[in-house]
Structure 1
Amino acid sequence: MIYPIVLFGDPVLKKKASDIPHGEDVKELVQDMFDTMYAASGVGLAAPQIGKSIRLFVVDDNPMMEEGEQGMKKAFINPEIIEEDGDDWAFEEGCLSIPGIRGEVERPEIVKIKYYDEDWNEHIEEFDDIHARVIQHEYDHIEGILFTDYLTPFKKRLLKGKLASISKGKVDADYRVKVPKK
């Protein structure tokens, strides 16, 4: 099932998500989230972006990889960032919930994260570079943080009108969206 993507302005995007009860069957939801992400040409999708305030996100950063580099496709259930390390580096980010807007965000280059996969196997892994960036972006979603929260006050002022339009459903997206209720 392909879900509509919740747009900027919906309260679910600013709420800290709840843990999923251990052992709950999430395989179908994980597959639906991958299908939804691919339909929107994304590389990551968090459950709040489909209107579900639960601690789950999926990532497939293969489209961002250079020739010969190995991408990552994973589901992260009830994740917890244990450590962020390395130098902060800037990269222009976008978000399926904020179509047409991009902004430079600084993030640490390494992340160590504990999470469960869709079979409830526990993992503790370290990721770097673009893998870490995508994980940090999606992790922020389950914490109620959007990439626009990191932008400078000046950049936020410049985007105020565009963000207001997005929250009213005035977007140019080639995927289904869900407009925030007023």
Structure 2
Amino acid sequence: MIRPILAYGAPILRQQTRELSRETPGLQQLITDMWQTLDNAAGVGLAAPQIGQPLRIFLADNRDEAEHLRQVFINASILEYGNTFSTEEEGCLSIPGLSVPVTRPDSIIIRYQDADFQTRTATFEGMNARIIQHEYDHVEGRLYLDRLSSLSRTLLRHKLQKVSRGKFRPSYPMQFPLRN
């Protein structure tokens, strides 16, 4: 089932998330719903808080041939960040119509459980590392906007208010916290 993506301003996007277990009720359906929601929105990543679930699970889907990745990350923990950085444009399904340059480490080492609850530790680089860090921020209650300077955030305030009020209408279903 395709679920609406919560827009910027929804309180759950700033909350801490809970870990999952193999026995978490409805987990497989949640994963299926998240993939359908992500595919429908044509995004590269989606975290459970973005669909109203305060759970430590996110998806990464990089369709690039050289760096192809389509993976579920459950109870993830970034163990190490690389020491080189790059700045790339980032957007977010919860903040449609807005993309800004964000600086992040070029590589990470992450421990997570896959959809079968197998614990894995892996190194990711380049765009895959960026996508994973972006989604990991979501399960930590952070947004990519938090990585911007206070001046940059101030300059974006008007656009962010429009997003939270539903003034931007993407092609995918959304739920907006503020209406007027």
Q: Give the structure 2 partner of residue 3 of structure 1.
A: 3
SS in structure 1 at match of 2:83: strand
Q: Does the CA contact (< 8 Å) of 2:164 and 2:178 recur in 1?
A: no
1:24-173 superposed matches below 5 A: 24=24, 26-62=27-63, 65=64, 68-173=65-170
Deviation at 1:23, TM superposition (A): 4.0
Q: Does the CA contact (< 8 Å) of 1:59 and 1:134 recur in 2?
A: yes
Partner amino acid for 1:29?
Answer: L
Q: Aligned partners of 1:9, 1:181: CA distance in 2, in Å?
A: 8
Partner amino acid for 2:19?
Answer: D
CA RMSD of aligned residues (A): 1.4
Deviation at 1:44, TM superposition (A): 0.2
Unpaired stretches in structure 1, ≥5 consecutive residues: none
Partner amino acid for 2:20?
Answer: I
Q: Aligned partners of 1:23, 1:40: CA distance in 2, in Å?
A: 29
Deviation at 1:154, TM superposition (A): 2.3
Identity of aligned residues (%): 39
Partner amino acid for 1:19?
Answer: E
Q: Aligned partners of 2:129, 2:172: CA distance in 1, in Å?
A: 26
TM-score normalised by length of structure 2: 0.94
Q: Does the CA contact (< 8 Å) of 1:23 and 1:120 recur in 2?
A: no
Q: Aligned partners of 1:36, 1:90: CA distance in 2, in Å?
A: 28
- Alignment length, in residue pairs? 178
Q: Does the CA contact (< 8 Å) of 1:26 and 1:118 recur in 2?
A: no
